Amino acid sequence: MLERGEIANSWRHERWDSLRLLTPNWLNRLPGHSYQGPDPDGYLTMGEVVEFIEHFAVASAAPVRTGTNVESLRRDGDGYLVSTSRGDLRCRAVVLASGACNVPTVPAISAGVPTSVAQLTPFDYRGPDHVAEGGVLVVGASATGVQLAAELQRAGRQVILAAGEHVRMPRVYRGRDVLWWMDASGVWDQRYDEVDDLTRARRLPSPQLVGTPERSTLDLNALTGLGVELVGRLAAVRDGSALFSGGLRNVCSLADLKMRRLLAGFDEWARTTGRDAEVGPPEEFAPTTVAASTRLRLDLRGGDVGTIVWATGFRPDYRWLDVPVVDEKGRLRHEGGVLDSPGLYALGLPLLRRRRSTFISGVEDDARAVVDHLAKHLPASAG
Amino acid sequence: MSGVDNGVNVQALLDAREVLKGAPEAAQFVWRATSKWEKGVHSTTTIQKYFGLGQEQSHKTRAEFSADHPEVFAAEDNGITPIEYLLVGLASCLTAGVASVAQNRGIQLRSVSSTVEGSHDIRGILGADSDVRNGFNDIKVTFNIDADASKEDIQALVAQSQKRSAVFDALTNPTDVTVEVA
Ligand SMILES: Cc1cc2nc3c(=O)[nH]c(=O)nc-3n(C[C@H](O)[C@H](O)[C@H](O)COP(=O)(O)OP(=O)(O)OC[C@H]3O[C@@H](n4cnc5c(N)ncnc54)[C@H](O)[C@@H]3O)c2cc1C
């Protein structure tokens, strides 16, 4: 196992200070390794995640070579040549587990932002104290965006949050973590070859969830309650002004409808599997409140906003990969983790084989399936 | 889903989507209108040819649209005002979307009607108050839909039709517009 940094590198170096996992402790299962502490319903801090993964590395005796950057991977005979910062390696099979979130995605329109406004990605952001004076425009209302917007607003910054399509969820539904429902009802077991529009499902933004000791919901209504101003998707930056879509109401209706459909599915599952007595009564959530008129334009030179935070998602970085398995959008082409190059595999991508694949607990089943395939490949390629 | 017929050939659209995924050049369309000044604020705009699927295309017939201002603006009212054409575009686009999405989701429609209202403070175009914008302040669309579906499914239809609407997008998001003198 080659790792350019340290074990649990992304959790050490690519996350902000206050971040906790949004998956509850009991759910972060790794093969033969699960949370044993006193708070199974809680959410790990970054320090605790690092510890959890370090323990797993020791328990599984993983042969990790840290500080070894893979600089290129190319086909070589019936195997691969891996060039690393510590020399070359030849191998018959390779599993790409280099992560799905190596670089924050920043839209091209950022180039038009006046230089007087600071721009941060989630990799640059540590906490409100490190953000320049003044208001903050947070672009993107998925897990990262809603969490940073809430933290900055609570720290006394006026936050404007630009929201496009998003995934709304209550933290707790009928007394259980919403991810308990995802797990138990089988939503997370849905396979990649059962999903209607796989491309779309793989690009689905993360849910508006945060892990806090209070297990509170962090949807757009909660943010409005904190004083955050909601605006539509950031569509353009023109002549020093940010221009927002007038379609906020519809993206909120879509998110409300999808949430209601999801929760109705949970209710149906609880009813038909006779689990109604285990959980609380069905709950309803108020539709997202959108102001009668939302701001369509923000003068970035006017001084209201000192910083823009781009919470516009992450993408993988395959610049080191010299095998033609990357599509025109920079994503790996694969069939459930099997790439179109013999002996080459991937793990740790959104919906790789199941909805669960996007999360820490998804890797167990995925690794088993991919390793099965790999094990069959090895004898075939021997000699 | 069988038996549902809203008159939309959804299969053809789904097939086109698959084909165009691999042929982005063919998906590049240019819609064209040519306009001619008549007299006063009256003009006639003609539409027939457009470009798409890699070649010049033509509508079956040439369509002509008169635009003018109403008598309360001291004009002859030879046609609707230009900004009302935006309402025509929005209503027809959303309605087409409702029909297509319904077909795709297996929902039989019996009737679909809508009212589109654009609020407009004309002090903007008259230059009476520089803080007032020229265009609509807001637009409200109200759909009345009779279909074999729950209220929730109908709301989802309407939401999805907005999500995939060209005119909704063109009105809610800024677009680069260049105007030149040839
Ligand atoms: C902000 C954020 C919050 C998240 N929160 C949660 C959560 O609460 N719960 C959850 O289940 N999931 C969460 N996820 C998803 C989570 O990242 C995945 O579930 C899982 O951790 C992915 O693990 P991984 O090992 O595949 O990828 P990573 O953790 O990204 O690890 C990939 C490793 O590969 C190394 N690497 C990359 N390129 C090279 C190279 N060329 N040479 C050598 N080494 C290389 C990197 O240094 C890194 O250590 C979150 C993701 C993000 C971005």
The percentage of residues in chain A with a pLDDT greater than 90, rounded to a whole number, is 97
> Of the candidates A313, A337, A360, which is a domain's last residue?
A313
Which residues on chain B are in Cβ contact (under 8 Å) with A238? Answer: 174
pLDDT of residue A379: 83
For A319-376, what is each residue's pLDDT tens digit?
999 999 999 899 999 999 999 999 999 999 999 999 999 999 999 999 999 999 999 9
Domain-embedded: residue A256: yes
Q: Is residue A4 part of a domain?
A: no
Q: Both tokens of residue A88?
A: 């070359």
Let me know whether A271 and A137 are in one domain: yes
The mean predicted confidence, pLDDT, of chain B is 95
Are A351 and A287 members of one domain?
no
Give the count of beta carbons closer than 10 Å to the beta carbon of residue B182. Answer: 2
Please compute the mean of the pLDDT values over residues B27-41 and round it to a whole number. Answer: 97
Q: How far is the CA of A142 from the centre of ligand 1 (A)?
A: 17
Q: Which of A247, A260, A293 sits opposite B172 (nearest CB)?
A: A247
Residue B132 at interface with chain A, using a CB cutoff of 8 Å: no
Residue A331 shares a structural domain with residue A308:
no
Tell me: the pLDDT tens digits for A38-72?
999 999 999 999 999 999 999 999 999 999 999 99
Characterize B110-128 residue by residue with b for buried, 16 or more Cβ atoms within 10 angstroms of its Cβ, and e for exposed: eebebebebebbeebeeee
Q: Do both A98 and A111 map to the same domain?
A: no
Task: Round to whole Å and give the CA distance between A176 and A183.
Answer: 11
Integer Cα distance of A229 and A218 in angstroms: 14
Interval between CA A99 and ligand 1 midpoint (Å): 5
- Of A313, A343, A362, which one is at a domain's C-terminal end? A313
pLDDT recorded at residue A380: 75
By the CB < 8 Å criterion, does A293 face chain B?
A: yes
What spacing in Å lies between the alpha carbon of A199 and ligand 1's midpoint? 20
Taking an 8 Å cut-off on Cβ atoms, the answer to whether A232 and B163 are in contact is no
CA distance A98 to A321: 11
Q: What is the CATH number of the domain that holds A358?
A: 3.50.50.60
Shared domain for A342 and A361, answered yes or no, is: yes
Q: Search chain A and give the residue with CA nearest B24.
A: A328
Residue A82 alpha carbon to ligand 1 centre in Å: 21
- Are residues A167 and A237 located together in one domain of the fold? yes
Rounded average pLDDT over B94-109: 96
Rounded CA gap, B89 and A223, in Å? 35
Q: Which residue has the higher pLDDT, A382 or A125?
A: A125
Do A91 and A118 belong together in one domain? no
What is the band of B2 on the pLDDT scale with cuts at 50, 70, 90? low
How many CA atoms, within 13 angstroms, populate the side-chain half-sphere of residue A132? Answer: 15
Tokens at residue A360, please?
Answer: 């820490």
Q: Is A109 in the B-facing interface, judged by CB distances under 8 Å?
A: no
Whether residue A305 is found in the same domain as residue A337: no
Residues A307 and A209 occupy one common structural domain? yes
Each residue's pLDDT tens digit, A249-296: 999 999 999 999 999 999 999 999 999 999 999 999 999 999 988 999
**Contact B168/A247, CB-based, under 8 Å?**
yes
Which of A3, A74, A94 for a ligand 1 pocket mutation test, highest count of atoms within 8 Å of Cβ? A3
> Is the alpha carbon torsion for A105, A106, A108, A109 positive or negative?
positive
Quick check: B166 contacting A, CB < 8 Å? no
Distance in angstroms (rounded) separating the CA atoms of residues A275 and A288: 29
Our mutation pick for probing the ligand 1 site, out of A1, A2, A4, A26, counting the most ligand atoms within 8 A of Cβ, is A4
The pLDDT confidence band at residue A163, using thresholds 50, 70 and 90, is very high
Set of chain B residues whose Cβ sits within 8 Å of the Cβ of A243? 173-174
Does A236 touch chain B if contact means CB atoms closer than 8 Å? Answer: yes
The tally of domains found in chain A comes to 2
The pLDDT of residue B22 is 85
For the CA of A320, the closest atom of ligand 1 is: 41
Q: Is the pLDDT of residue A383 over 60?
A: no
The set of protein residues with a Cβ atom below 6 angstroms from ligand 1 is A 2-5, 9-10, 15, 21-23, 69-70, 97-99, 101-102, 144, 314, 320, 348, 359-360
Our CA-based measurement puts residue B40 at a distance from the nearest CA of chain A, in whole angstroms, of 34
- CB contact B174 to A (< 8 Å): yes
Q: Sketch the domain layout of chain B as residue ranges.
A: 81-172
Using an 8 Å CB-CB cutoff, list chain A residues near B173: 233, 235-236, 243, 245-247
Smallest CA–CA distance from B173 into chain A, residue: A245
Specify the DSSP class assigned to residue A334: E
State residue A112's pLDDT score.
Answer: 96
Domain limits at A220?
A: 104-313
DSSP-derived pairing of the beta strands A135-139 and A305-310: parallel
B156 part of contact set with chain A, CB < 8 Å: yes
- Residue B16: phi and psi, rounded to 5, are -60, -40
Q: Which atom of ligand 1 is nearest to the CA of A144?
A: 1
Predicted ipTM?
Answer: 0.84
Q: Which atom of ligand 1 is nearest to the CA of A101?
A: 53
* Burial profile A267-280: b = 16 or more Cβ within 10 angstroms, e = fewer: beebeeeeeeeebe
pLDDT of residue B130: 87
Q: Within a domain: residue A1?
A: no
Tokens (6 digits) for A245: 């879509």
Same domain, residue pair A126 and A262:
yes
Are A243 and A357 members of one domain?
no
The tokens for A322 are 């010299």
Instruction: Give the largest CA-CA distance in chain A.
Output: 71
CATH code for the domain defined by B81-172: 3.30.300.20
What mean pLDDT is predicted for residues A24-35?
95
Gap from CA of A44 to ligand 1 centroid (Å): 15
Q: Are residues A181 and A221 in the same domain?
A: yes
Q: At which of A289, A313, A337 does a domain end?
A: A313
Mean pLDDT of chain A: 96
Contact criterion met (CB < 8 Å) for A253 and B159: yes
| pLDDT (average), residues A161-179 | 98
CB contact under 8 A, B138 and A293: yes
Ligand 1: residue of A6, A9, A10 to mutate (most ligand atoms within 8 A of CB) is A10
Work out the average pLDDT over A73-79. 95
* Residue A3 counted as domain residue: no
- The answer to whether B173 faces chain A, any CB pair under 8 Å, is yes
pLDDT in tens, A200-255: 999 999 999 999 999 999 999 999 999 999 999 999 999 999 999 999 999 999 99
A250 has a chain B CB within 8 A of its CB: yes
Question: Which mutation among A2, A9, A25, A354 tests ligand 1's pocket best, with the greatest number of atoms within 8 A of CB?
Answer: A9
Would the CB atoms of B173 and A257 count as touching at under 8 Å?
A: no
Inter-chain CB proximity B173 and A245 less than 8 Å: yes
Query: CA nearest A190: which of A358, A331, A346, A24?
Result: A358
